[in-house]
Amino acid sequence: MSHVNPDPEPERTTGLEPGGSVPPGETPPAESSLPEAGPREPHVQRRGWAKAPLALIIVLVVLIAVGFLGYALSLIF
């Protein structure tokens, strides 16, 4: 595998001043950090939570709340 340096070479790049800066009004060299963009993926719209996991979470929350309420009442009486 060969490695290609994405940085421009100042001696071979047009439009660069000595030191690598770009003169006013000149477009800087393009970056090559993303040489190839991947295919466009369509947005997949989800319908939300399934009924069974949501019902299980609600039942679990209710059981925990009843447990805390029972514990609080046992401390009071």
pLDDT tops 60 at residue 24:
yes
Residue length of the chain:
77
Question: Which pLDDT does position 20 carry in this prediction?
Answer: 67
pLDDT tops 60 at residue 19:
yes
pTM: 0.40
- Alpha-carbon distance of 67 to 18, in angstroms, equals 75
Phi, psi (5° rounding) for residue 14?
A: -80, 150
Cα angle 25, 28, 31 (rounded to 5 degrees) comes to 155
Minimum mean pLDDT range among 29-33, 41-45, 55-59: 29-33
Task: Report percent pLDDT > 70 for the chain.
Answer: 57
Question: Which pLDDT does position 33 carry in this prediction?
Answer: 55
Higher pLDDT, 65 or 48: 65
